[in-house]
Structure 1
Amino acid sequence: MQIKIIIIGVLVGCSYLIGEHIYKAYTNRHKQLNDLIRILEIIRMDLSFGLYTLEEIFKRIGEKTEYCTSKFFKTMEYELHNNQSKVLDEILNDNIGILIKETYLQNKEVDELKKLILTLGQSDIESQTRMIDLSIENFKDLTKETKEDVEKKGTVYRKLSTVIGLIIGIILI
């Protein structure tokens, strides 16, 4: 009987942890989108001064380890600096996997960032600033969606997984 109770306790604990993991995935995505907005604002400021190359901007962002995308930008800067034979499109395609693997960003956010990076340096500063502002607005809309996802879906998954664990535990008794 004691073994059965221990197994049921482990089952309920595991189901609770699964719910917490799903909830944290939703909250991390929301946080990472907010970080991405801050990064775009930094890029906009650096470009508006016109004193930095794209490589230098990526280096500055890559040094900010508090952002989830710092490794991506650090790698982009390294590749731009050391691979003069590659174009930005090739370097970006080689490194986009870092964003997909190491962040909770979804494909639509990664594609938006990729599209923005590819347009940088191809027009005047004002056009680039407008493109960055447009991307920031798109990401702000997405943060509203992710906040709703955290409040609705994240909480539901958190509670639902615990309840399912409890129900299975009751059935096993």
Structure 2
Amino acid sequence: MSIALFLLTFLFPPRTISVPALALPSTVASLSPRQVSVAIPVIALKKAPKTLSYRVTATTYWPEVGQTDAAPMETADGSIIPARHSSKTRWLAVSRDMLDKWGGPFHFGEKVRVSGISDALDGVYIIHDTMNRRHRHCVDVLVNERECKNGLEGLWPDIRLSKLAPEPVWEAS
């Protein structure tokens, strides 16, 4: 026993109050415990974060009716491809299985890093378009027709597609 506890007990002894025991009514005395079901609210959790890097097949395309739909200059997110675009425009079309609308990890307008194609085509791209539904785990890099005919056309397997962290939004405090 510590000294402080001893002093408190000595200075302020506990009081005992004698009260006659209350008799319980017979209905309360004969109750037995029973099981009670308790409804616990289930909080929906967000999906587990998907990996930040994916291995995909990459190809190049340019806006013409043979490679796109009837409106080749309009992308799936409603953006209009600039008339004087080139591979420096850095727009990307992804297969539908890669878009969040169909259960994938990416959104329209999201920035991604593409690496493993070539020095000219590797870099940061913005997702603006989607590919035909027959494609799976693929990306299409927007280029100019002249660039494709000068050597940028091709198919590259095992390309790394990485999510970029969102840029912080600065606000005055």
Same fold (TM over 0.5): no
Instruction: Answer 1 or 2: which has greater strand percent.
Output: 2
Q: Which has the larger radius of gyration?
A: 2
Instruction: Return the structure number with greater relative CO, CA threshold 8 A, min gap 6.
Output: 1
Q: Which is helix-richer, 1 or 2? A: 1
